[in-house]
Amino acid sequence: MISTITSKGQITVPGAIRKKFNFNTGDKVDFIEDGSGNIILQPVKKSIKDLKGLIVKPQKKITLEDMQKAIEKGTDDE
């Protein structure tokens, strides 16, 4: 696949590549030279801090007793 560099130095990543590697708007990529003249486009891994807010805090507190009851109920089904 071929992409053109714009006058601002920007490159459009082809849609098939974005879809295959799940690239989204705002994702960062790194250009790595492999030593033999090739450039590798690699997604930048997100840090653990980027996960903040992904899981919402439950509205109701769950006690250890509630958890134990749920575990016992789940094992009854087996």
Of 24-28, 47-51, 70-74, where does mean pLDDT reach its minimum? Answer: 47-51
More confident site: 44 or 38 = 38
Whether residue 77 is predicted with pLDDT greater than 60 in this model: the reply is: no
* Annotated domain spans of the chain: 15-76
User: Tokens for 27?
Assistant: 């994702």
Mean pLDDT of 34-43: 91
Tell me how far apart the alpha carbons of residues 4 and 15 are, in angstroms, rounded to a whole number.
14
Question: Do residues 25 and 12 make contact, with C-beta atoms less than 8 angstroms apart?
Answer: no
The reported pTM is 0.48
